[in-house]
Structure 1
Amino acid sequence: MKKKNVLPVAVLSSALFVGAFAPIQAHAVQPEQTPQVSTQSMAEKFEKSKGNKPIFVVEKQAEKQNASNAAAAVNHLKKNQEKYKIKNPKSNFKPGQVKKDDLGMTHVNLQQTKNGVPVEGSEVIVHYDEENTVQSVSGHFNHEVEEADISTEPTLSKTEALNKAKNEVDAPEEMSYTPTSELVIYPYNDASQLAYKVNVNFLGKDPGNWFVFVDAKSGQVIDKYNALMHANGFRSATASGLGVLGDHRKLHITHKNDKTDNLKGTQFYLYDNSHDNLDGIYTYDMKNQWGGEDFQLPGVLYSNNSASFKDDYDRAAVDAHYNSEQVYDYFLEEHDRNSLDGEGMAIKSSVHYGQDYNNAFWNGEQMTYGDGDGEFFISLSAGLDVAAHEMTHGVTSNSANLQYRFQSGALNEAFSDIFGALVDEEDWEIGEDIMGEDARQSGRTSLRSLSNPDKYAVGAEYVSYGDGSGMYPTHMDEYYDLPLSLDNGGVHINSSIINHAAYLTGEQIGKDKLGQIYYRALTVYLTPTSDFSHARQALIQSAVDIYGEGSTEAEATESGLNQVGITE
């Protein structure tokens, strides 16, 4: 009988650990001679009420286009509007990003709008091959919004919406980042409403990166969710340091003479400016504070009076700094991606967050690591896979931007886990280097396992929503149909199904090829409301793009998904 080991309550939050709209719930592929099982989940019911329908059409047009740009993409949709069931594409879409990849393909993003106002979660991507021929069309389009008569003139001011959102989530007066607000059409509970989408980001013992939707007419809060994702004058120099587990680290740092303080003299900083076209890698010290009026994230730039960072207090910072560079190098070397946004944005980490904080998170801007309680967890920056997990959230935020709830949120978490296991090549576990002695003695030797997800138990409050086993799922017939109030609808729990599919594929074709396929799906085909079924199509198409139709890699990708019950 399996021993059920449950994480302590302190880590059941929407960060790296357990505490996202999905159009159509993936159906389960069962073993031979077993009836197929399908589940209409809470996420599916929610999405169906919105009329947000997935599009994934693979087709080669008879004639190539003169160009692969926004105008050509809209014209393609207009010529094929009966096939896609999209009326008036020219008035329904706002041109977005146009990207050309290393296969010579061009991808044109189109944002659905209503009278010029963006429709939340509805994007379509037209994909062109190197000869400007349409290869496929993917994304989501909301037909109900298209047909509805919706006024797009707000009666509520942006300031009023901001204040209502801040009150709704008990935001402090002083916040790390200025709140943002934009007008959107928000489909929710069988209706589509004009709303302000407000982002409120703050620290404390219970930090939040909240998205709050405020009705632009009545001022009522329609919906909310916490997207906190758990999991000059300087001269370049090199330094040495000791990591949390005693590893000797070679560090890229900078130094300068502090002329304002003669007692300090030359100071050495965990600021790496050695990479071309990168705004730098920075590691900060939160000094075991939670962030407040007098001390905000990211804290103070970590410094020392020598190039040797070997004191006990330094170790968390040493690992955060070292691991950030390792993850940066992985994405640059394997995927030609320059930093998390692909354009050289600064990579920032903060260590010593709070006291005994058993978590790490990506807050939409940077990585933040707690020190752990020393019993169940040690300093969370010790894990290379943890750093890769959090930084991949940054990649996702700057590409597919998967909504952090239900199946899209589970995909968000899964891609972070998968790239965590790809960057940390040694195994298929996540977080094995951050577990404390109490955790290990209880049998909890990692946070999650891609190879054997069901060796760990979920929290007691989740059990009744699954198949009764109480373990992390490996197959769609073990799917947890969770409400949004629990784990944001299962973002950490149901992610293990995608994790296991990646493991099964990776065992057949190797981690390098697996990374190429999953990276392409994330950055080319997935959109904010993609679900498991859409991910299946995106992953298989990505394998076909890179390795060819009928290739071993494409077959292995499909096989991995089939074995966990994700079928068309």
Structure 2
Amino acid sequence: MASKSLFLKSKALPKLTIGASARTGFPSAKPCTVPTSVVDWYIGKFSRLFFLLIVGLVSLFLATSYLYYHYQSQSRAAFEPALIDDQALTPASVFIKQSHLNFFSLFGKDKIYSLDSDEAHLGMVAFFNKDIQLKQTNQVATILPKSINQELFLVRKITENNDQSLHFFYQQRIDQLPVYGSFVQMHLKENGQFYGLQGSVIDDSQIPAALISEETAKAKAMEKANQEIKDGDLNIDRFEKLIFNKKILGIGSDDKNYLVLAVSISSQNLTKAPFAKKFFVDLETGEVIYEENLIDAALARYIYDYRTFSGNQVKLARGEGDPATGDADIDNGYDLLGEIYNYYLSKFDRKSYDNNDSPINSIVHINGSSCPNAWWNWGNNFLFVCDGMIAKDIMTHEFTHGVNNDLVYTYQSGALAESLSDILAVGLDDKNWTMGEDSILGVIRYLDDPTKATAYSHPQPDRLFSDYYRCSNTAESNNDYGDVHTNGGVVSKAFYLMVQGGEFNDCSIAGIGMTKALQIVYRYMTVYMTPTDNFKNVYDSMLQSCKDLFQEGSDTCVNVTKALRATELDQQPANEQKGALCLGVVKQKPVCDINPSLSPTTIPSGSVSPTEIVTVVPPISTPPTPTPELSCQATGSVVLDLKLRFQGVLKGSNPSLNGLKVFVNAVSHSGNKITGCGGFTADTSGLWLGKVYLNIPSEYLSEKYSLFIKGPKHLQKKVCDLSPSESLPGTYRCQVDKISLKEQVNNLDFSKITLLVGDLPLQDGITNSYDIALVTNNLSKTDPETLKKADLNLDGVVDTQDYSLVIAALSIRFDEQ
């Protein structure tokens, strides 16, 4: 056979002889020769193909494994519960699990849970797609099962601080029907820190079938209304199908879900006592199982004159922009509504009672058996005023009922509605602490001393366990719906003590002033208040509002706490509408021996209004109130020999670095606080060296401490480790008080963490538009006075480097607490 390759041509190829196999014993055949290069070629080709095949298979296996385990981890994460550790919660947090009811008010010292996404809305979707659980010492309890989370519908959102702080408000709905009085509120602050979760929900989705028609239910409601008022010329204003549960309202132990038709009925005959009620008719039996009173004893004002009433019509007497009529009640009512509108707008940035610039309607010159009186009708949002009742505080009180109209008007939530209306009224009419003094009735209530009786009102309680606190077993019209006008005195007295201070119930309170107190109350009303709030909710949420505005541990919040404890609001059982005294709770002595742990802070500019989206931006023109100047002592039982690093100072060649004052607060685990300061100088590497002298009694040296350090242009830093360190400037966080102090010298090297600039003189504990403006308005200046305020890196000129530093500080923003 000719030796010819089918693939290669070669003249001198080596031969490979293939003969008979020695093992077979066959005779040798004629030798067949194959070129070795052909074999090599085949071997090389198939080796490469085999190698590529193996690589491909391995790659496919690795990719499949990665996708499988990634999917599995995501699936596990999706099904794993959202676990909130009670160690992250404030002592005031509460969780109550009853039959078919979960009630919770959880606020964190910092954050209570890390959302799965940096995008708040995506993180919330993932959060509510899990079972939400609370990890307690010996058990794990489910707060919100996933099944309930799918029943929550967003009804309102508030944003603050350029969309950094978010508040979401949800209502529970079962089969698209609202659960009356249910709610869930979620609170996030800067950088998406999830710090608060409130709610009251039912975990029973069983709903009875409707056995009667809506028309029959409306007839049942009208029949009930006619039993209560004769010749009232009644009218159905609105009706709505709801799920009703008495237990979620805190008005009884019945935890059954009722399918009801809520029918709002009001009287058109204003010559008789005002009448407007909501009747809850059971669609299974036709019985009225609950009734709720709707009467509370851009600017558009419309004043109607009741004397023109004819055929269910009343004529407009004066509209927005119309000239004066010459009638005192019409014109004074018109002017007062304008003053009230501007009060809410200027103080709280609120536009009308609903913050939607709805027209303000009022009917004056009412006379008859309902007078003398004034009331806000939640059914049609009209303010009704009898002759002789046009007074600033009375009209502000009634207007405020339109602001807080979410509150259920029975027992403590109804008493809260009355008290808040009084509080906002004295905020405008602030020449005294009385209500109604300019009306024909004279004084009807005293906020400074609610126990004073008047010709038209009972003595009110000034604390939760007062003998004047009234206990009613039912909430009916004949007992003022659970004595709402009487028991509100407790909250009113607490507000008076917040503003004025004083000695009360073995507590010594320093007043914080009207402006701060109103900001706290209004924030509570618009951010944290829920329809079924009782006095314990007031205590918890007022403190959270104060913490939001003025920082926990500040003088302001300490005295707010004292005022609320002095009136015993903290001793009301959670989720109970009847008073602690009525429930047989044993009174405890108020705990008011608490001390501030932070330097005072000023009231923030701007406010929060309950619109769909609210943005709060402090005006640049408003300078802060300065931190009080302290002289630094040169002696003390404890000496802190500190080494510090301040942001932006890279070297110490500038003579202006010498003699800068640094403040230090040493706060023990039990809350004992000692304040001092010292002069610091910088070495050539930019580290600051100095001593701070503190007088700490020897009996307190056994405790562990945290140190709060604040430089002359810097945000306060909390340090609780002897050798703190961080990977990036500003990322160190104090967890547990660990610093032990001794008499004489304590050498403390904190140079491995950076104290951030941003809070410029005059210091107020926050980096905001004032600090930014102080830099931008002084760019390129080198005079000593300007450098003292706005030269952040101490290089002798105010420039873009200083601007960059103060902008970066906005990511931290506040003094650490």
TM-score when scaled to structure 1? 0.71
Q: Does 1:335 align with 2:369?
A: no
SS, match of residue 199 in structure 2: strand
Match of 2:361 among 345, 348, 366: 348
Match of 1:207 among 274, 281, 288: 274
Query: How do 1:93-108 and structure 2 match up within 5 A?
Result: 93-101=152-160, 104-108=164-168
Match of 1:234 in 2: none
Change (3 A) 1:51 1:315: farther
SS, match of residue 474 in structure 1: coil
Match of 2:291 in 1: 224
Match of 1:475 among 463, 476, 494: 463
Match of 1:358 among 372, 391, 402: 372
Cα drift, residue 62 of structure 1: 5.4
Quote the Cα distance in structure 2 between the aligned partners of 1:551 and 1:80: 36
Q: Does 1:287 align with 2:310?
A: no
The more displaced of 537-546 and 47-56 is 47-56
Residue deviations 1:156-208 (CA, integer Å, cap 9, x gap): 22222112111111176855663322232333651221111111122331222
Match of 1:414 in 2: 419
Quote the Cα distance in structure 2 between the aligned partners of 1:496 and 1:349: 27
Quote the Cα distance in structure 1 between the aligned partners of 2:529 and 2:353: 17
SS, match of residue 295 in structure 1: coil
Quote the Cα distance in structure 1 between the aligned partners of 2:113 and 2:219: 54
Residue deviations 1:301-356 (CA, integer Å, cap 9, x gap): 3389x94543xxx1111221111111110111111111111111111111011337
Residue deviations 1:114-146 (CA, integer Å, cap 9, x gap): 23322111101101113222120123223xxx1
Query: How do 1:107-506 and structure 2 match up within 5 A?
Result: 107-142=167-202, 146-147=203-204, 149-151=206-208, 153-170=209-226, 175=234, 178-187=237-246, 189=252, 190=254, 191-204=256-269, 205-230=272-297, 278=298, 280-287=300-307, 294-296=311-313, 299-302=315-318, 307-310=323-326, 314-355=327-368, 357-364=371-378, 365-371=381-387, 379-381=388-390, 383-397=391-405, 401-436=406-441, 445-456=442-453, 471-478=459-466, 479-482=469-472, 483-485=474-476, 486-506=479-499
Quote the Cα distance in structure 1 between the aligned partners of 2:410 and 2:353: 21
Query: Would you say the 8 A contact 1:517–1:542 is kept in 2?
Result: yes
Quote the Cα distance in structure 1 between the aligned partners of 2:331 and 2:421: 22
Which structure 1 residue ranges, 4+ long, deviate > 4 Å from structure 2? 47-53, 77-80, 171-177, 457-460
Cα drift, residue 358 of structure 1: 0.9
- RMSD over aligned Cα, in angstroms? 2.7
Match of 2:143 in 1: 85
Query: Would you say the 8 A contact 2:524–2:545 is kept in 1?
Result: yes
Residue deviations 1:418-464 (CA, integer Å, cap 9, x gap): 0011011111111111145xxxxxxxx4111110111116989xxxx
- Calculate percent identity across the aligned residue pairs: 26
Change (3 A) 1:207 1:125: same
Quote the Cα distance in structure 2 between the aligned partners of 1:393 and 1:555: 29
- For structure 1, the 5+ residue unaligned runs are 1-46, 231-277, 372-378, 437-444, 461-469
Match of 1:519 among 515, 518, 522: 522
Change (3 A) 1:458 1:91: farther
Quote the Cα distance in structure 1 between the aligned partners of 2:418 and 2:234: 26
SS, match of residue 246 in structure 2: strand
Change (3 A) 1:228 1:62: closer
- Counterpart code for 2:416: L
Quote the Cα distance in structure 2 between the aligned partners of 1:288 and 1:551: 56
Query: Would you say the 8 A contact 2:443–2:454 is kept in 1?
Result: no
Change (3 A) 1:48 1:183: same
Change (3 A) 1:433 1:347: same
SS, match of residue 553 in structure 2: coil
Change (3 A) 1:203 1:79: same
- Counterpart code for 1:94: F
Cα drift, residue 359 of structure 1: 0.5
Higher relative contact order (CA 8 A, sep 6+): 1
Cα drift, residue 52 of structure 1: 4.8
Quote the Cα distance in structure 2 between the aligned partners of 1:176 and 1:149: 33
Quote the Cα distance in structure 1 between the aligned partners of 2:307 and 2:421: 27
Q: Does 1:57 align with 2:65?
A: no
- Counterpart code for 1:184: I
- Counterpart code for 1:473: P
Quote the Cα distance in structure 1 between the aligned partners of 2:481 and 2:542: 24
Q: Does 1:66 align with 2:118?
A: yes
- Counterpart code for 1:388: T
Residue deviations 1:91-121 (CA, integer Å, cap 9, x gap): 2312221222458422111112223322111
Count of matched residue positions in the alignment of Structure 1 and Structure 2: 434
Quote the Cα distance in structure 2 between the aligned partners of 1:336 and 1:497: 28
Change (3 A) 1:139 1:90: closer
- Counterpart code for 1:451: D
Match of 1:537 among 518, 536, 540: 540
Residue deviations 1:530-561 (CA, integer Å, cap 9, x gap): 10001111111001101111122212221111
SS, match of residue 439 in structure 2: coil
- Counterpart code for 1:57: L
Cα drift, residue 211 of structure 1: 1.1
Match of 1:249 in 2: none
Change (3 A) 1:303 1:517: closer
SS, match of residue 245 in structure 2: strand
Quote the Cα distance in structure 2 between the aligned partners of 1:456 and 1:426: 21
Quote the Cα distance in structure 2 between the aligned partners of 1:533 and 1:52: 18
Match of 1:28 in 2: none
Change (3 A) 1:513 1:386: same
The more displaced of 420-429 and 183-192 is 183-192
Quote the Cα distance in structure 2 between the aligned partners of 1:420 and 1:338: 17
Quote the Cα distance in structure 2 between the aligned partners of 1:51 and 1:447: 42
Cα drift, residue 404 of structure 1: 0.3
Quote the Cα distance in structure 2 between the aligned partners of 1:148 and 1:558: 39
- For structure 2, the 5+ residue unaligned runs are 1-95, 135-141, 501-510, 572-817
Change (3 A) 1:68 1:423: farther
Match of 1:553 in 2: 556
Quote the Cα distance in structure 2 between the aligned partners of 1:459 and 1:319: 24
Query: Would you say the 8 A contact 2:464–2:567 is kept in 1?
Result: yes
The more displaced of 539-548 and 279-288 is 279-288
